[in-house]
């Protein structure tokens, strides 16, 4: 068998052992992704989903999907939501200025 197959087989066996609690995962190989709580961030602003999406230049459907847990923000959107959480007025101002430039 090929080395790739052997590596995949070993990884699958390790995964099963971890799931069964027989082995602890190697912390150096564990990757955790931060998933912001979009609903909590939005509620903190006091805005409806539609107003939140419009104010921060997001798609309404996108916000709905995040809040329902059907999708999760990834990449720069994670950081964007963190910024909204920490500085909503600053982000709203930047988004509004950007929209004005694009319209102008």
| 13-72 tens-digit pLDDT | 998 999 999 988 888 877 777 889 999 999 999 999 999 999 999 999 999 999 999 999
pLDDT of residue 28: 84
38-103 belongs to which homologous superfamily?
lambda repressor-like DNA-binding domains (1.10.260.40)
Task: Give 80's pLDDT tier (boundaries 50, 70, 90).
Answer: very high
The pLDDT score that the predictor gives to residue 1 is 62
Full-model pTM? 0.68
For 25-64, letters b (16+ CB in 10 Å) and e give eeeeeeeeeeebebeebbeebebebeebbebbebeeeebe
Q: Is the pLDDT of residue 104 over 80?
A: no
Answer whether 25's CB lies under 8 Å from 18's CB. Answer: yes
């Amino acid at each position: 068998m090929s080395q790739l197959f052997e590596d995949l087989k070993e990884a699958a066996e390790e995964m099963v052992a971890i799931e069964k609690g027989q082995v602890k995962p190697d912390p150096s190989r564990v990757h955790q992704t931060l998933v912001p709580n979009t609903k909590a961030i939005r509620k903190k602003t006091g805005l409806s989903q539609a107003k939140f999406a419009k104010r921060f230049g997001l798609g309404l459907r996108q916000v709905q999907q995040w809040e329902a847990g059907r999708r999760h923000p990834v990449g720069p959107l994670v950081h964007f939501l963190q910024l909204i959480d920490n500085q909503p007025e600053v982000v709203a101002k930047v988004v509004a200025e950007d929209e004005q430039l694009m319209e102008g």
